[in-house]
Chain A
Amino acid sequence: MLDKQLILGVYDNGDDLLTSVKKLRKKGVEIFDCYTPYPVHHLDNEMGIKRSNLTVGAFLCGLTGFFLGLLLQFYMMTNFLHTFKSWPMIIGGKPQDYGMWPSMVPVTFEMTILFTAFGIGFLFFAKSKMIHGKIAQIIDPRQTDDRLFLAVEPSELSKISRSELDSFLTENGAIEIRERNLDGSAEVETAAPAKPKTKAKAAPKTADLSEEEKSEKLGFLQSIVGEGTSDQKDDLKEISGVGPVYEEKLNSIGIFTFEQVSKLTPESIKAIEELTKYFPGKIEREDWISQAKNLMDK
Chain B
Amino acid sequence: MFEASIRQPLVEGNKSIADVSNDICAPIENKPTKLWWLGFTLSFAFLMLMVLSLGWTVWEGIGTWGVNKTVMWGWDITNFVFWVGIGHAGTLISAILLLFRQKWRMSINRSAEAMTIFAVLCAAQFPLFHMGRVWLAYWALPLPNMFGSLWVNFNSPLLWDVFAISTYLSVSLLFWYLGLIPDIATVRDRAVTKARKFWYGFFAMGWNGSARTWHRYEIVALILAGVSTPLVLSVHTIVSMDFATSVIPGWHTTIFPPYFVAGAIFSGFGMVLTLLIIVRKVLNLQQYITIGHLDAMTKVVMLTGSIVGVAYLTEFFIAAYSGVVYEQYAFLNRAFGPYWWAYWTMMSCNLLAPQVFWFKWARTTPWFIFMLSIVVNIGMWFERFVIIVTSLHRDYLTSSWAMYSATITEVGIFLGTMGLFFTCFFLFSKFLPVINMSEVKSIIKSRE
A residues 110-149 in Cβ contact with B at 8 Å: 110-111, 113-114, 116-118, 120-121, 124-125, 127-139, 141-146
Q: Give the CA-CA distance A248 to B193 in the complex, in Å.
A: 12
Q: Give the CA-CA distance A133 to B217 in the complex, in Å.
A: 19
B201 to chain A, nearest CB (A): 7
Contact A77/B192 with A12-B448, A85-B149 known, Cβ cut-off 8 Å: no
Contacts of B210 in A (CB 8 A): 33-35
Contact A72/B142 with A47-B211, A103-B155, A146-B18 known, Cβ cut-off 8 Å: yes
B residues 9-24 in Cβ contact with A at 8 Å: 16-23
A residues 186-229 in Cβ contact with B at 8 Å: 204-206
Whether A113 and B171, one on each chain, are in contact in the complex, defined by CB atoms closer than 8 angstroms, is: yes
Q: Which residue of A lies closest to B222 (CB)?
A: A55
Contacts of A118 in B (CB 8 A): 170-171, 174
Whether A136 and B151, one on each chain, are in contact in the complex, defined by CB atoms closer than 8 angstroms, is: no
Q: Give the CA-CA distance A113 to B238 in the complex, in Å.
A: 15
A residues 63-91 in Cβ contact with B at 8 Å: 72-73, 76-77, 83, 85-87, 89, 91
> In this assembly, does A98 line the interface, its C-beta being within 8 Å of a C-beta of chain B?
no
> In this assembly, does B441 line the interface, its C-beta being within 8 Å of a C-beta of chain A?
yes
Whether B206 and A129, one on each chain, are in contact in the complex, defined by CB atoms closer than 8 angstroms, is: yes
Whether A143 and B208, one on each chain, are in contact in the complex, defined by CB atoms closer than 8 angstroms, is: yes
Whether B22 and A278, one on each chain, are in contact in the complex, defined by CB atoms closer than 8 angstroms, is: yes
B384 to chain A, nearest CB (A): 21
Whether A144 and B30, one on each chain, are in contact in the complex, defined by CB atoms closer than 8 angstroms, is: no
Whether B219 and A128, one on each chain, are in contact in the complex, defined by CB atoms closer than 8 angstroms, is: no
A216 to chain B, nearest CB (A): 23
Whether A134 and B442, one on each chain, are in contact in the complex, defined by CB atoms closer than 8 angstroms, is: no
Q: Which residue of B lies closest to A50 (CB)?
A: B215
**Segment touching A, from B156-164, B301-309, B373-381:** B156-164
**Segment touching B, from A22-30, A154-162, A238-246:** A238-246
Contacts of A47 in B (CB 8 A): 211
> In this assembly, does B323 line the interface, its C-beta being within 8 Å of a C-beta of chain A?
no
**Segment touching A, from B108-116, B224-232, B263-271, B412-420:** B224-232
> In this assembly, does B321 line the interface, its C-beta being within 8 Å of a C-beta of chain A?
no
> In this assembly, does A54 line the interface, its C-beta being within 8 Å of a C-beta of chain B?
yes
Contact A44/B214 with A38-B442, A55-B219, A121-B220 known, Cβ cut-off 8 Å: yes
Whether A54 and B29, one on each chain, are in contact in the complex, defined by CB atoms closer than 8 angstroms, is: no
Contact A240/B34 with A103-B155, A106-B234, A144-B182 known, Cβ cut-off 8 Å: yes
Q: Which residue of B lies closest to A83 (CB)?
A: B149
> In this assembly, does B152 line the interface, its C-beta being within 8 Å of a C-beta of chain A?
yes
Whether B154 and A127, one on each chain, are in contact in the complex, defined by CB atoms closer than 8 angstroms, is: no
> In this assembly, does B401 line the interface, its C-beta being within 8 Å of a C-beta of chain A?
no
A127 to chain B, nearest CB (A): 6
> In this assembly, does A266 line the interface, its C-beta being within 8 Å of a C-beta of chain B?
no
Q: Give the CA-CA distance A12 to B147 in the complex, in Å.
A: 66
Q: Give the CA-CA distance A279 to B154 in the complex, in Å.
A: 57
A residues 1-43 in Cβ contact with B at 8 Å: 12-15, 33-41, 43
Whether A144 and B207, one on each chain, are in contact in the complex, defined by CB atoms closer than 8 angstroms, is: yes
Interface residue tally on A, bucketed by range: 35 or more
Contacts of A54 in B (CB 8 A): 216, 219-220, 223
Q: Give the CA-CA distance A204 to B215 in the complex, in Å.
A: 29
Contacts of A135 in B (CB 8 A): 201, 206
Contacts of B175 in A (CB 8 A): 117
Contact A124/B216 with A86-B149, A136-B206, A244-B192 known, Cβ cut-off 8 Å: yes
A34, A92, A138, A146: the one within 8 Å of B17 (CB): A146
B residues 263-299 in Cβ contact with A at 8 Å: 284
Q: Which residue of A lies closest to B438 (CB)?
A: A38
Contact A76/B18 with A41-B442, A58-B223, A128-B213 known, Cβ cut-off 8 Å: no
Q: Which residue of A lies closest to B156 (CB)?
A: A91
- Contact digits for A274-288, partner B, Cβ 8 Å, 1 yes 0 no: 000111101001000
Whether B192 and A145, one on each chain, are in contact in the complex, defined by CB atoms closer than 8 angstroms, is: no
> In this assembly, does B26 line the interface, its C-beta being within 8 Å of a C-beta of chain A?
yes
> In this assembly, does B190 line the interface, its C-beta being within 8 Å of a C-beta of chain A?
yes
Whether B201 and A128, one on each chain, are in contact in the complex, defined by CB atoms closer than 8 angstroms, is: no
Q: Give the CA-CA distance A157 to B442 in the complex, in Å.
A: 32
Whether B206 and A134, one on each chain, are in contact in the complex, defined by CB atoms closer than 8 angstroms, is: yes
A126 to chain B, nearest CB (A): 11
> In this assembly, does B355 line the interface, its C-beta being within 8 Å of a C-beta of chain A?
no
Q: Give the CA-CA distance A78 to B148 in the complex, in Å.
A: 15
Whether A146 and B21, one on each chain, are in contact in the complex, defined by CB atoms closer than 8 angstroms, is: yes
Whether A113 and B167, one on each chain, are in contact in the complex, defined by CB atoms closer than 8 angstroms, is: yes
Q: Give the CA-CA distance A280 to B155 in the complex, in Å.
A: 61
B residues 42-66 in Cβ contact with A at 8 Å: none
Whether A143 and B160, one on each chain, are in contact in the complex, defined by CB atoms closer than 8 angstroms, is: no
Whether A43 and B17, one on each chain, are in contact in the complex, defined by CB atoms closer than 8 angstroms, is: no
Whether B192 and A137, one on each chain, are in contact in the complex, defined by CB atoms closer than 8 angstroms, is: no
Whether A49 and B211, one on each chain, are in contact in the complex, defined by CB atoms closer than 8 angstroms, is: yes
> In this assembly, does B203 line the interface, its C-beta being within 8 Å of a C-beta of chain A?
yes
Whether A94 and B448, one on each chain, are in contact in the complex, defined by CB atoms closer than 8 angstroms, is: no
> In this assembly, does B252 line the interface, its C-beta being within 8 Å of a C-beta of chain A?
no
A4 to chain B, nearest CB (A): 12
Contacts of A279 in B (CB 8 A): 22-23, 26
B332 to chain A, nearest CB (A): 30
> In this assembly, does A60 line the interface, its C-beta being within 8 Å of a C-beta of chain B?
no
Q: Give the CA-CA distance A14 to B167 in the complex, in Å.
A: 37
Whether B447 and A14, one on each chain, are in contact in the complex, defined by CB atoms closer than 8 angstroms, is: yes
B residues 352-395 in Cβ contact with A at 8 Å: none
Give 14 A-B contacts (CB < 8 Å), ordered by A residue.
A33-B210, A38-B437, A43-B211, A54-B216, A55-B219, A76-B151, A89-B155, A91-B155, A107-B160, A109-B234, A117-B224, A124-B217, A145-B190, A279-B22
Known: A35-B210, A35-B211. 5 other contacts (CB 8 A): A38-B442, A39-B442, A62-B227, A110-B163, A206-B16
Closest 7 interchain pairs by CB? A134-B206, A86-B148, A13-B447, A243-B30, A76-B151, A38-B441, A146-B17
